[in-house]
Amino acid sequence: MTELVLPHHTNQLGNLLGGQLMHWIDICAALSAAKHNQRVCVTASVDRIDFHHPIRLGEAVMLVASINRVFKTSMEVGVKVYAQNFKEGTKIHSNTAYLTFVSVETNGKPVEAIDGIPETEDEKRRYDQALQRRENRLKDRIK
């Protein structure tokens, strides 16, 4: 997904508002989850969003989502965000986010998600790391 940072997306310093970026991340992740499951998927949680570099007015924001691991009804979606400045010819990895989505029927009830099988080394690494993050999420939820 690609978005252009316009004046109404920025703060007083000319940087992209964090809330606007979170909105785009949620949409990108939801579309990825829905495409994978061929049904509506809803946001269950957002682990963290790390802001590594500011994104400036006029830059393009490229969001790349991937299904890291599918559990029973939920799945972890990772989103990498890049800021691209066409005038300078630069592309910087600016943010990373991990979200959990649940596959639902039209009545909102969770349904079993379509499994995902990692194939490449990168997919296998993300698959393994997603289980660790899930275990941490579940531990934190009990506290």
- The residue-averaged pLDDT of 16-36 equals 97
Greatest distance between any 2 Cα atoms in the chain? 49
Label residue 96 by pLDDT band (50, 70, 90): very high
Helix (H) or strand (E) holding 127: helix 121-142
- Of all residues in the chain, the percent with pLDDT exceeding 90 is 83
Query: Which residue matches tokens 């080394």?
Result: 121
Helix (H) or strand (E) holding 118: none
Query: Which residue matches tokens 């940072």?
Result: 5
pLDDT tens-place string over residues 112-143? 999 999 999 999 999 889 988 998 888 877 65
* Domains in the chain: ranges and CATH: 2-142 (3.10.129.10)
Label residue 47 by pLDDT band (50, 70, 90): confident
Both structure tokens of 45: 């949680």
Both structure tokens of 55: 């994104």
> Looking at residue 18, what is its pLDDT?
95
pTM assigned to the model: 0.91
Q: Cα 126 to the chain's mean position, in Å?
A: 13
> Looking at residue 40, what is its pLDDT?
95
Among 11-20, 60-69, 75-84, 128-137, where is mean pLDDT lowest? 128-137
Label residue 43 by pLDDT band (50, 70, 90): very high
Question: What backbone phi and psi angles, to 5 degrees, belong to 82?
Answer: -120, 140
